[in-house]
């Protein structure tokens, strides 16, 4: 970007773009567009995240959790070298198993745990780390390495469940997003594992078998009967080897029926959330579908609460009728005994014996027989139930994995995705009806277009409700799950719909759907639990996990839709731009009708350093480009079609906007200087032909679509270009190269179409590197290498020297206006500062403070010009003269112009810059000094940067 970049580098206070790293993607001939590649990469990364989440959803113990977290981090984060995982044990101990150690009680890691915030730093104190991890995590780390401390939080209980120490590369915004999603899923997995572990805790609780034995001694039980009881219970325990809870219950129930001489026995199992009683086996029959009823069903709830047995006389007639219905016979006597878990001390089941033989009532001895039985068998029974629950959880996890796969295959259509969500939610929870609402933030409404019956295509028929009313509105507003056991008794439920349709709503489970930023984007509502009295805690946990998949899939589906819309808009915009840039056949024919004019006929001095190309009228510059192509031999050497070349030149000319300086005339001047270097310095002795052609074409294209603002402005204004290229650095230069590729890909404009695949690839690589070299930040980074090359001597066999020389030549071409006479230099300064001041005005309008050179009220032009020439321009042409003795006059002319700026500096200070930003008055100072012989004699025929009338005379 020439002098504009040079001034920006000298004056700005922010770090140079050399600190930004990235990779430029370019098109091969067979590739149609760059965005397709970006989408493909994004899709791959999305699949990695999905795999990580699915892996976490399947963990059932601490060991598999550690493996899943380690594998997920290594897949998602850049250049991960190590992952150390601490998991909470007890209330406060965070332990790692590799090697076994605990999080230190003080220090940086403990501080991150206490603050419950992620910490990213350049290293951790070695004293806090095991020897194994110090090489990867201990401070100080290399500049491109980072140490992360990532607490996994339980938001509901405000505590840390696990801590990850990670050694990796710097994080991008996408990495931060993936870590947030991964952390939420890891938290759910940790809570699930803690719940599983809790079911296996076994503290010694009474009553023990010995206590039960002693209790039996106080009963009126003979020693013979007692020995028989022991033999029977031992025989029963030997038979309890089944992994199926129903089979175990059959054996225990058969034992109880024999020992209590009852017609029928059953076990009413207490659900984990203590909300339901359910029965799987009655007598010698395993029920096809388990029977469940509320825990507070009559007196049975009191048995669970008070842990005291009851008999038939203690229950109501309604309870007696329901039990008779369950058993399939009339009840004449009953004994209900609570079964207490030795592990937790809680009631886990109610053992019920019905209809004692002989019409007798159940006695206290029967109660003790039952208690004696479960003193030995309750542990086996509860363990088997826990195992069965774990198996059920495994099945549910597998179902969730299948759900995730189903959801993530319908991202291309939101309506189809919502239908899939409804189907999967209904199947998972066994609900009668499911509805899904999306939140419209503009109208602040919940919108439902998809129902159990299908999709509503007409917007007039879609269902909308205010986002703060009703059950769904309450969930959308609070972001909390709502489980309603009795819909009609809930104040938020409106039963008018039920009254008008005849449908009866018994219970509702309503849960929010959130995106990756934890913002509510929708609500799902499940109605009427089919296999139970209401939705239980298990359904709530399942809905919470399911909602995460829903949120991710909906957010990605909406994003996918936006990307497609953006692609369509981009295609339309490109078509419109190419239509307006389109070169007609008439324009091509007009350019070629007179043939290619020899350069000598353009101007006798056209091939000399003293010639000023800006003296050519704008409409004749394409002829000049064709003449230079011909004179340099490119047309014959590379068999370039003349119509294609003419169309390419006209397209490039139209690709430039009209800012004061960075316009087509600047590109033509830069290209002409490249031609001068070829003609006067013998570049063919230093570079290959394809490199010289790449240099010349890059000079033509190096500022395509320049907007008159620099890279810093693009980043500060958060422009579209900055969004595309700021992560890679050299924002405008990458855009110029992309525009050049777009023109080459335009039909009838590819001047390299006859190249081999290998040469075509190399040409694009060269153009990319040469155009990126116009960012003077790049020049300053390689300046020491350039100086070393000049000191050691140029090596034609060195690829690195070829690359460095091309960069130096491109920069010298870009600044070539400084090698012309004083009038040209002065006029160029006027154009540059006119462009600078326009940017400064924009920055002020944005509320930013422009740099001094951009501020028309503060800019001290002579000093800025002197600084630019001393620090940027003169060192460049000094290096050029060391490599090419024939370039000495260029350095001398830049030095003479620098001296002229010094001579007029004090006059400028006195007069200041006129309101029209013109520097014409400096010509008077120059002519006065020249008449006094201040610059000596100059016999060269110089063409200045002339007005139209002067240009006509010059021609």
Given a contact cutoff of 8 angstroms between Cβ atoms, the answer to whether 645 and 753 are in contact is no
Given a contact cutoff of 8 angstroms between Cβ atoms, the answer to whether 134 and 142 are in contact is no
Given a contact cutoff of 8 angstroms between Cβ atoms, the answer to whether 293 and 311 are in contact is no
Closest by CA to 186, choosing from 155, 215, 214, is 155
Closest by CA to 715, choosing from 738, 699, 737, 735, is 735
Q: Which residues of 429-465 are buried (b: 16+ CB within 10 A; e: fewer)?
A: bebbebbbbbbeeeeebbbbbbbeeeeeeeeeeeeeb
Question: How far apart are alpha carbons 431 and 543 in whole angstroms?
Answer: 12
Contacts of 221 (CB under 8 A, 6+ apart): 229, 365
Given a contact cutoff of 8 angstroms between Cβ atoms, the answer to whether 174 and 45 are in contact is yes
Side-chain-side CA neighbours of residue 878 (13 Å): 12
Helices within 161-299 (DSSP H only): 173-198, 209-217, 223-239, 245-260
Neighbours of 467 (CB within 10 A): 22
Question: Is there a catalytic annotation at residue 662?
Answer: yes
**772 exposed, middle or buried (CB, 10 Å; 0-12, 13-18, 19+)?**
buried
Given a contact cutoff of 8 angstroms between Cβ atoms, the answer to whether 53 and 404 are in contact is yes
Given a contact cutoff of 8 angstroms between Cβ atoms, the answer to whether 811 and 640 are in contact is no
Pairing outcome for strands 262-270 and 347-356: antiparallel
Question: How far apart are alpha carbons 266 and 288 in whole angstroms?
Answer: 15
Closest by CA to 615, choosing from 131, 266, 944, is 944
Given a contact cutoff of 8 angstroms between Cβ atoms, the answer to whether 62 and 87 are in contact is yes
DSSP 8-state code for residue 14? S
Q: In this structure, what token pair is assigned to residue 895?
A: 């030095």
Pairing outcome for strands 276-282 and 285-294: antiparallel
Question: How far apart are alpha carbons 648 and 630 in whole angstroms?
Answer: 15
φ, ψ dihedrals at 667, nearest 5°: -60, -40
Q: In this structure, what token pair is assigned to residue 28?
A: 């091969």
Contacts of 738 (CB under 8 A, 6+ apart): 34
Q: In this structure, what token pair is assigned to residue 371?
A: 């208690």
Given a contact cutoff of 8 angstroms between Cβ atoms, the answer to whether 52 and 76 are in contact is yes
User: For 576-729, where are the E strands, in sequence order?
Assistant: none
Q: Which residue has the tokens 């130096």?
A: 808
Gap between the terminal Cα atoms of the chain = 30
Given a contact cutoff of 8 angstroms between Cβ atoms, the answer to whether 425 and 546 are in contact is yes
Question: How far apart are alpha carbons 645 and 752 in whole angstroms?
Answer: 10
Given a contact cutoff of 8 angstroms between Cβ atoms, the answer to whether 355 and 311 are in contact is no
Question: How far apart are alpha carbons 285 and 282 in whole angstroms?
Answer: 5
Side-chain-side CA neighbours of residue 511 (13 Å): 23
**860 exposed, middle or buried (CB, 10 Å; 0-12, 13-18, 19+)?**
middle
Question: How far apart are alpha carbons 797 and 316 in whole angstroms?
Answer: 103
From 185, 556, 662, 778, the catalytic residue: 662
**661 exposed, middle or buried (CB, 10 Å; 0-12, 13-18, 19+)?**
buried
User: For 285-392, where are the E strands, in sequence order?
Assistant: 285-294, 310-311, 334-340, 347-356
Which residues are the active-site residues?
662
């Amino acid at each position: 970007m020439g002098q504009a970049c040079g001034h920006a580098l000298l004056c700005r206070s922010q770090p140079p773009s050399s600190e930004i790293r990235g990779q430029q993607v370019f098109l091969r001939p067979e590739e149609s567009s760059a965005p397709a590649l970006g989408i493909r990469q994004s899709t791959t990364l999305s699949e990695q995240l999905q795999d990580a989440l699915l892996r976490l959803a399947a963990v059932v113990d601490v060991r598999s959790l550690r493996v899943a977290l380690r594998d997920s981090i290594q897949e998602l984060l850049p250049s991960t070298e190590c992952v150390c995982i601490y998991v909470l044990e007890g209330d406060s101990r965070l332990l790692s198993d590799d090697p076994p150690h605990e999080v230190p009680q003080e220090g940086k890691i403990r501080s991150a745990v206490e603050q419950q915030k992620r910490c990213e730093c350049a290293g951790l104190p070695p004293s806090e780390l095991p020897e194994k991890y110090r090489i990867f995590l201990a401070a100080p780390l290399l500049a491109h390495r980072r140490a992360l401390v990532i607490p996994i939080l339980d938001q509901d209980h405000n505590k840390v469940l696990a801590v990850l120490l990670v050694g990796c590369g710097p994080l991008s915004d996408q990495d931060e997003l993936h870590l947030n999603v991964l952390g939420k899923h890891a938290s759910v997995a940790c809570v699930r594992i803690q719940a599983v572990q809790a079911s296996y805790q076994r503290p010694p609780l009474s009553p023990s078998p010995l206590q039960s034995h002693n209790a039996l001694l106080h009963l009126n039980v003979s020693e013979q009967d007692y020995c028989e009881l022991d033999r029977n219970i031992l025989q029963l325990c030997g038979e309890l080897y089944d992994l199926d809870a129903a089979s175990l219950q059959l054996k225990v129930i058969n034992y109880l029926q024999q020992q209590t001489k009852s017609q029928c026995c059953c076990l009413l199992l207490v659900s984990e959330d203590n909300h339901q009683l359910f029965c799987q086996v009655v007598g010698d029959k395993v029920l096809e579908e388990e029977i469940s009823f509320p825990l507070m069903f009559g007196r049975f709830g009191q048995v669970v609460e008070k842990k005291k047995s009851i008999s038939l006389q203690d229950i109501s007639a309604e309870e007696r009728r329901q039990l008779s219905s369950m058993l399939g016979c009339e009840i004449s006597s009953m004994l209900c005994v609570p079964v207490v878990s030795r592990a937790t001390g809680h009631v886990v089941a109610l053992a019920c014996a019905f209809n004692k033989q002989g019409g007798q009532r159940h006695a206290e001895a029967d109660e003790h027989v039952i208690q004696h039985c479960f003193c030995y068998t309750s542990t086996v029974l509860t363990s088997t139930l826990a195992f069965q629950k774990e198996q059920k959880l495994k099945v549910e996890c597998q179902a969730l994995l299948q759900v995730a796969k189903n959801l993530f295959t319908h991202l291309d259509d939101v309506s189809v995705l919502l239908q899939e969500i409804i189907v999967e939610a209904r199947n998972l929870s066994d609900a009668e009806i499911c509805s899904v609402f999306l939140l419209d933030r503009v109208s602040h409404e919940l919108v439902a277009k998809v129902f159990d019956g299908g999709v509503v295509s007409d917007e007039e028929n879609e269902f909308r409700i205010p986002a703060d009313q009703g059950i769904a509105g309450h969930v959308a507003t609070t972001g909390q799950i709502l489980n309603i056991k009795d819909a009609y008794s809930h104040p938020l439920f409106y039963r008018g719909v039920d009254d008008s349709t005849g449908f009866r709503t018994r219970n509702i489970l309503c849960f929010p759907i959130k995106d990756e930023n934890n913002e509510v984007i929708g609500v799902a509502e499940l109605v009427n639990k089919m296999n139970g009295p209401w939705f239980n805690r298990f359904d709530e946990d399942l809905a919470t996990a399911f909602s995460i998949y829903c949120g991710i899939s909906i957010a990605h589906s909406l994003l996918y839709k936006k990307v497609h819309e953006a692609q369509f808009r981009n295609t339309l915009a490109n078509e419109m731009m190419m239509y307006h840039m389109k070169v007609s056949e008439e324009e091509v024919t007009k350019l070629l009708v007179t043939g290619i004019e020899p350069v000598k006929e353009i101007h006798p001095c056209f091939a000399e350093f003293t010639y000023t190309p800006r003296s050519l009228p704008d409409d004749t510059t394409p002829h000049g480009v064709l003449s230079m192509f011909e004179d340099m031999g490119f047309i014959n050497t590379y068999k370039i079609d003349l119509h294609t070349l003419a169309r390419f030149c006209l397209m490039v000319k139209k690709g430039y906007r009209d800012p004061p300086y960075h316009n087509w005339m600047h590109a033509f001047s830069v290209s002409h200087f490249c031609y001068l270097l070829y003609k006067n310095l013998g570049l063919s002795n230093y570079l290959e032909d394809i490199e010289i052609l790449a240099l010349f074409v890059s000079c033509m294209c190096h500022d395509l679509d320049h907007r008159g603002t620099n890279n810093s402005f693009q980043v500060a204004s958060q422009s579209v270009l900055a969004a595309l290229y700021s992560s890679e650095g050299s924002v405008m230069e990458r855009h110029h190269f992309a525009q050049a590729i777009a023109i080459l890909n335009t039909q009838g404009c590819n001047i390299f179409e006859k190249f081999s695949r290998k040469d075509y690839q190399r040409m694009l690589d060269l153009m990319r590197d040469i155009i990126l070299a116009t960012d003077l930040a790049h020049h300053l980074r390689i300046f020491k290498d350039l100086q070393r090359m000049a000191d050691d001597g140029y090596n034609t066999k060195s690829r690195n020297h070829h690359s460095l020389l091309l960069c130096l030549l491109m920069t010298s071409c870009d600044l070539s206006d400084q090698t012309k006479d004083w009038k040209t230099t002065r006029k160029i300064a006027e154009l540059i500062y006119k462009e600078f001041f326009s940017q400064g005005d924009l920055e002020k309008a944005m509320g930013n403070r422009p740099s001094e050179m951009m501020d028309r009220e503060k800019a001290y032009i002579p000093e800025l010009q002197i600084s630019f020439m001393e620090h940027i321009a003169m060192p460049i042409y000094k290096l050029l003269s060391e490599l090419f003795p024939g370039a000495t006059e260029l350095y001398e002319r830049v030095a003479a112009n620098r001296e002229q700026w010094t001579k007029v500096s004090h006059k400028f200070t006195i007069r200041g810059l006129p309101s029209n930003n013109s520097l014409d008055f400096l010509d008077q100072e120059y002519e006065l000094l020249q008449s006094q012989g201040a610059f000596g004699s100059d016999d060269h025929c110089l063409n200045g940067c002339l007005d139209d009338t002067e240009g006509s005379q010059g021609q």
